[in-house]
Amino acid sequence: MKKINAAITGVQGYLPPKVVTNHDLAKFVDTSDEWITSRTGIKERRLMENGATSDMAAEAVKGLLKKTNTKPEDIEVVIVGTVTPDYPFPSTANVLCDKAGLSNAWSFDVNAACSGFIYALATGTQFIESGRYKKIIVVGADKMSSIIDYEDRTTCIIFGDGCGAVMLEPTQEEIGIIDSILHIDGSGHKYLTVPAGGSANPASKETLDNKMHYVYQDGKTVYKFAVKNMANVSKTILDNNKLQGSDVKLFIPHQANRRIIDAAAKRCGLKDDQVLVNINKYGNTTAGTIPIALDEAVETGRLNKNDLLLLAAFGGGFTWGSMLIRWGELK
C-alpha cells in the first residue's frame, strides 16, 4: 500500500481592512518611517478594530470552505495556532468551529508564538498520514493589537493583525508535506513573553499598573537567536533531504524582520525571486504570517504543481522550525 501523504488543497487569508502606517505610529510614539523601515522593513500593518481572533479565523475558514467547495460538516479536525486566544479557555478553535458551522469537528489550539502555524501544520499532517482523518483545517491567526502597548515603540512598530487557513487532505501522489523540523529552547521564555495573566503572575492591580499584560521583548537577544536559528533550520532541512537552494521554487519565511529573512535566504543560497516578502505591507502577524503569505503566493501565481516550497519560522519560547512541501493542485 502506498504511503498516505498530507497535501494542502486550499488556502485562504484574511486581513482586517484598517491600515496603520509608520507615519500614523509616529504621531503618538517617538519614531519615524525611516527608523522603522531601516530596522524592520515594515511600512504598514493591519489592525482589527472590532472582534476577536476567532472572528478573523472564521472569515478565513468560510472563504476556504467556499474555495474548496467543502461542506462545513465534512471537516473533522481544526487546529489553530495563536497566542491571542479569545479566552484563556475554551480554545479559540472551539469558538471558531461554532462561528464557522464546523459541527462535526473536534479542535484545539497550539501555542508556539510565531512558529504556531508550522507547529499546527506538522501536527495536522500526522493526523492525515495516520489514515484516520480526511479533511483537516489548520489556521494561523493572531490579533496582536490586543496585547501590544502602543506607547512602547520597541513592540508597537512590529506587529499587526491577520489570519490564514489551509485545508489538508490525504493523497497517494508524491506531493504534500515532505518533512518538518521543530525545535524549542525553553530558557528563552523570558526574552519574548506576555509576563502576566497566567498562573505565574495572575492578573492584579500591580500587573495592570506595570503593563505586564502586554508583549515584552528583549529585542537584541531575540534578534541574535532568530538570525542564527531560523537560518540554520532552513539549511538543515534542505541538507537532510539532499536538496540545495536551487531546488527551491519559493521560500516563505515568518515575516518578523527583513534582516532575519535575508540572513535565512543567504544561508540557503536563495535568490531574491525565490523569497516571498510581504512584511512591508502587514508587519509581523505572528502565527498568521506564513498562511497569509502562502495565500498571496497562490493568488499571484508563484506556485505550480510539483514546485518545492520551503517554510521557516521563529518565535517566543523560544520556538523555531522549518518545513518542506511538494506543491499539489488546489481545488
Cβ–Cβ under 8 Å, residues 223 and 191? no
Check: CB of residue 114 under 8 Å from CB of residue 292. no
Instruction: Confirm whether 254 is a catalytic residue.
Output: yes
Set 22, 229, 254, 257: catalytic member: 254
Per-residue b/e over 54-77, b at no fewer than 16 CB within 10 Å?
Answer: bbbbbbbbbbbbebbebebeebbb
Amino acid in the structure at residue 286: T
Based on the residue annotation, tell me whether 50 is a catalytic residue of this protein.
no
First to last CA, the chain: 25
Contact between 92 and 99 under an 8 Å Cβ cutoff? The reply is no
Tell me the three cell numbers of residue 195: 509576563
* Of 147, 143, 192, 111, residue with least CA distance to 45: 143
- Give the number of other Cβ atoms within 10 Å of residue 189's Cβ: 13
**160 near 46, Cβ under 8 Å?**
yes
What's the rounded Cα separation, in Å, for the pair 87 and 311?
Answer: 29
Distance (Å, whole) CA 78 – CA 138: 6
Among the listed residues 114, 156, 163, 268, the single catalytic one is 114
String of b and e for 230-265 (b: at least 16 CB within 10 Å)? Answer: bbbbbbebbeeeebebeebbbbbbbbbbbebbbbbb
Spatial distance between the Cα atoms of 304 and 133, rounded to a whole number of angstroms: 26
From the list 75, 186, 91, the residue with the least C-alpha distance to 127 is 75
Q: How many CB atoms lie within 10 A of CB 122?
A: 22
Residues with catalytic function: 114, 254, 284
